[in-house]
Structure 1
Amino acid sequence: MSAGLPEIVYHMYWIKKDKFLLETDTYVTWILFAVEEGRFEYQIGEVYGVAEFGDVVVCPPQVAFYRNVLEPLSFHTITFTFSDGDSQQLQLLLTHRKIRLPQILRLSENYSCLKQADQQLPFSFDNQKLKQHYLVDLWLMIAQQALESPDAGLSGKDDEVIRDVAIYFNTHAHEAIEIRDVAHRFGMTPVQLIRRFKTAYSVNPLQYLTSIRVKQASRLLLITDWTLDVIAGKCGYENGFYLSRVFRKAMGVSPSEFRKQNRY
């Protein structure tokens, strides 16, 4: 094992979970929650936040981890340890915090591979080696983001108004949305909304809304045989051509390529 890399102990994938068995839990190892779909709120020490697709929440050993499902939650939990003390600085950066990972395609591929490992090689040594590989790749993304944004996720409670804006985006992403109309609805100018939203979520409102829509489009591409125009209408876009442009920019592949590569 290379210095500073985690060693997997256990991985579990949960599908459409409505609630946690325990509202608060404490683990003997490090643990990360990687959200694939849905949203949950959490508190670790004095740090409160809301996590969704693209977010990984890291909690150190022997620290109370409060969590509550806000929307039906599909997510990966991975418990892990460190083999040496060389990663102490990075561990400190990750303590009690959420990391937003912008590499959506790479993230989705890791999640898909983790699930495939469970299906193809349950409870085997090779299964554990595969999962270790995917954990390391996740860790490299997490470490890069943590080192580039050492203060992210440590600012205390989220802006409650902006949290309501995020909920509005999640609820109305399938509709046509104008940022100026959303700003007016919540008593702000567009400039104020963009500034406050970026402070809370590290992306601007349009990027956040696009991530929701692309995630929904990805899901519909995999579970339906609908045309791109139909899927576009379900995701707040005027037509399939525009959705295709947005999807390719976000995911690195066209919708048709994504559907072909990931349906199995």
Structure 2
Amino acid sequence: MMKALRTAVCLLAAFGILAPARAKVRQLSPAMLQQRIAAWAEPHVSEDHHEGQYMRQGCSHANLEQLPDWKGLPVKVCTYTDTQFPKNPVKATAYLLFPSADQLASWIVNACVDAGRDDLTTCTGRLASRLWMASNAQFPVAGYVVEPAQDKKWKYPNEPYCFLFRDGVSVTTASYPDTTHAVDKACGPPAAAFEAPVKAFSYGRPVSATRKSYTAAGGTGDVGDADLRSPQWAFAVGQAFRAGWRAERNLLFRAAVADLSACDGNIWTDERIPSSCQ
């Protein structure tokens, strides 16, 4: 999916995630953490500087006639070239939202506060790291996200695959029934981006919330059956993200707190991600 291990090491270093650790993680106030996270994110998610946001290419304001639920939000349509496979670059189009540094900082800190975490510094550090590795702070409203095969058992383990997203979740539709590798260096069909999902997979972007964590965090939307990959989950994620856009809190971030672990890294320390997480 969008858990971009291909960029994780260099981006974690760029954000100071692999910087020298303090002897002891100092617990900071929510207000101080929010300021620091905003400063951490600003150079990488701003309009002028967005290193690592690999889909933020060729972007313009989106016509949302075919995505009416998203009207009123600053959705961009971006036609980008993914170069993770230098000999096989892939062109794709996605409809995206790019939260600001201040939005991200507020959502991260309030998620940890609302979860009742005493270790706010560690919680926010892990959640910020999880956000970056899961999505590079890009929210896919609709369209294709290019990623490597998720398993060496896939038919083309060394080629780029086109993951179709809708409302922040990887989905399939009537005309795109299976995730396939890129054909002729492109993803398609384009119309599939606007079709109703038939299946919705596990993770809700931008922080990889799950059906279980969403419900446990107080989410009331119908998430459907996880085993059947019911499409209701995509609608619930989209609704939650829209509700949080102009608010200080985002339910998807609160949901992700329950799943935080050493596998997520930590932007405040040099804590290494265990090899067992790969």
Q: Is the pair's TM-score, using the shorter chain for normalization, greater than 0.5?
A: no
Structure with greater proportional helix content = 1
Structure with greater proportional strand content = 1
TM-score by length of 1: 0.28
TM-score by length of 2: 0.27
State which structure, 1 or 2, has the greater radius of gyration over its C-alpha atoms.
Answer: 1
Q: Which has the higher contact order (CA 8 A, sep 6+)?
A: 2
